[in-house]
Amino acid sequence: MFKQSVQQSVHLQPLKEIACYDALSKETVQEALRVAKKAVVLKAESQSSLFDEFGFKRLDRRRGTVTYGTIDL
């Protein structure tokens, strides 16, 4: 889940009680890369440092509060 809640996202409300709120770790990204077939996708706040920290290429989105990034295999 996001560090700060996106209030407009009412459809995800039921998942909040079972979501993992741990910070993204290097080990988690490495495991995702190990099991992925084509790419690993990150969805985070537009200004998040996670994209640069873990080497995700940002997808160009000019609108919205979230941005997607990928590591292609």
Q: Can you give the pLDDT at residue 6?
A: 56
Global confidence as pTM: 0.75
**Digit-coded pLDDT (tens) for 10-31:** 777 787 788 888 899 999 999 9
Q: Can you give the pLDDT at residue 70?
A: 97
Q: What is the 3-state secondary structure (H, E, C) of 41-55?
A: EEEEECCCCHHHHHC
Amino acid type, 21 = Y
DSSP state for residue 37 in the 8-state scheme: S
Phi, psi dihedrals of residue 66, rounded to the nearest 5°: -120, 155
Q: Which of 33, 40, 47 is nearest to 3 (CA)?
A: 47
45 touches 2 (CB < 8 A): yes
For residues 18 and 7, give the distance between their C-alpha atoms in angstroms, rounded to a whole number.
Answer: 17
